[in-house]
DNA sequence: TGCCTGATGTTCT
DNA sequence: GAACATCAGGCAC
C-alpha cells in the first residue's frame, strides 16, 4: 500500500499493535530479499510500568521517544535482540514489540541464519531478529527506507485477533496488550 | 509434553 | 549488584 507510515503509526502503541497484524516486513540482506507477515505484537506505552520508556528517556530508550515508524532494537539476556516499531508522537515513549512473524519468501536463507526449521524460524521476538539478521546496527532505522521496510496492510477484522496479557513481563502483568492472529502456527505461545 | 535451568552482557539502581 | 519484553537443551513423566 502507498501511504505515509509515519503518520499512520503516530498513535498510541495499544492502538497500533493490533493494526500491525497482517502487515509485511521486507528485509534485504546480502542481496537476498526476505519477506514476512506480522502475526503477533505487544504494545508498550510511556505510562506503562512494563515499558522501557516508563522511567523516562535514556541513551537506550532514546529512539522510543522519536518519530513513529522507526525501529527500536534492544539487546537482552546477554545474547538476544528484539525489535519494536516506534509509535505515537515525537516526545512520547511508545513502541510495539514484534513477537512473531510468518515467513513468506526467503525462508531457505532464514534457515541458514537460524540453524532451525519450520515454526522455530520466527515464532519468538529474538528468533525473528536472528532470522531477519536484525541487530543493534538497525536501531533507529526508518522503516520507510530500504534494507528493512514496513508495508502497511488494511486492518484485520476483530474476529481474527486474540487479545491477552503480555509474555515475560514482571510489571503490569494484567495489562492486556498482546495481540495475535488467532490460530496462526507461528504465534509464540497460547 | 512440560518444567527447570544455564548462557551471557547491557542497563539501571 | 540485580534485573532483564529470551532461547534451547536436558530430564522427568
Digit-coded pLDDT (tens) for A96-115: 999 999 999 999 999 999 99
Mean pLDDT of A119-138: 97
Q: Indicate if the pLDDT at residue A71 is higher than 90.
A: yes
- Residue A50 (CA) to nucleotide B2 (C1'), in angstroms, measures 27
As ranges, strand C nucleotides with an atom below 7 A of a protein CB are: 3-8
Q: By the 8 A CB rule, do A41 and A18 touch?
A: yes
Give the nucleotide with minimal C1' distance to the Cα of A76.
Answer: C4
Using CA atoms, how far apart are residues A6 and A89, in angstroms rounded to an integer?
9
- Residue A79 (CA) to nucleotide B9 (C1'), in angstroms, measures 7
Tell me which residues from 53 to 92 on chain A have a beta carbon below 7 angstroms from nucleic acid strand B. 55, 58-61, 75-79
Q: Indicate if the pLDDT at residue A52 is higher than 90.
A: yes
Three-state DSSP state, A158: helix
Amino acid at each position: 500500500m502507498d501511504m505515509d507510515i509515519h503518520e499512520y503509526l503516530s498513535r498510541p502503541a495499544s492502538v497500533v499493535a493490533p493494526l500491525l497484524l497482517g502487515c509485511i516486513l521486507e528485509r534485504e540482506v546480502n542481496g537476498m530479499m526476505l519477506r514476512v507477515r506480522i502475526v503477533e505484537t505487544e504494545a508498550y506505552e510511556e505510562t506503562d510500568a512494563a515499558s522501557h520508556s516508563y522511567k523516562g528517556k535514556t541513551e537506550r530508550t532514546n529512539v522510543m521517544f522519536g518519530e513513529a515508524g522507526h525501529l527500536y532494537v534492544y539487546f537482552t539476556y546477554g545474547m538476544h535482540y528484539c525489535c519494536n516499531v516506534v509509535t505515537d508522537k515525537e516526545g512520547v515513549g511508545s513502541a510495539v514489540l514484534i513477537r512473531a512473524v510468518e515467513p513468506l519468501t526467503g525462508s531457505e536463507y532464514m534457515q541458514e541464519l537460524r540453524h532451525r526449521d519450520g515454526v522455530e524460524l520466527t515464532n519468538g521476538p529474538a528468533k525473528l531478529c536472528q532470522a531477519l539478521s536484525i541487530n543493534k546496527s538497525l536501531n533507529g532505522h526508518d522503516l520507510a527506507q530500504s534494507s528493512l521496510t514496513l508495508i502497511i496492510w488494511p486492518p484485520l477484522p476483530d474476529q481474527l485477533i486474540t487479545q491477552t496479557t503480555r509474555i515475560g513481563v514482571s510489571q503490569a502483568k494484567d495489562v492486556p496488550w498482546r495481540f495475535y492472529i488467532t490460530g496462526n502456527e507461528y504465534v509464540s505461545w497460547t
